[in-house]
Amino acid sequence: QVQLMESGGGLVQPGGSLRLSCAASGTIGNIDFMGWYRQAPGKERELVATSSPGGWTNYADSVKGRFTISRGNAKNTVYLQMNDLKHEDTAVYYCKADYLWKEYWGQGTQVTVSS
């Protein structure tokens, strides 16, 4: 069983920055893909960014050039640096991990972009 703990959400003004963190526990090995998804009110959950242990990354077009995903040295952590935040980035952000052919999700952290 894998537990994911997210942190770093909050309220920020347009153009501001936030850094989300997600740490996995309960594993005995390295996690495969880790990534971030988000869900805004009334919308479906969508991919924000994902990262492989080897450093391959993939981003939603809406965040390219503004967000950066990275893995920690322990490989069981993942970060999302969010710069130049916009109103439309407001959502609950979820961490997701793939481990031994199963998907695991965090509880989510709220990001609100508002002036």
Q: What is the pLDDT of residue 73?
A: 73
Q: What is the pLDDT of residue 12?
A: 97
Q: What is the pLDDT of residue 31?
A: 87
* Cβ atoms of 111 and 8 closer than 8 Å: no
Q: Find where tokens 């509880």 sit.
A: 107
Which uninterrupted H or E stretch holds 112?
Answer: strand 109-113
β-sheet bridge partners, residue 98: 103
Q: What is the pLDDT of residue 65?
A: 97
* Cβ atoms of 110 and 7 closer than 8 Å: no
DSSP state letters, 7-27 = E--EEE-TT--EEEEEEEES-
* Cβ atoms of 13 and 84 closer than 8 Å: no
Q: What is the pLDDT of residue 62?
A: 97
Q: What is the pLDDT of residue 26?
A: 85
- Digitized pLDDT (tens) for each residue of the chain, 115 residues in all: 899 999 999 999 999 999 999 999 886 688 889 999 999 999 999 999 999 988 899 999 999 999 999 998 777 899 999 999 999 999 999 999 999 889 999 999 999 999 9
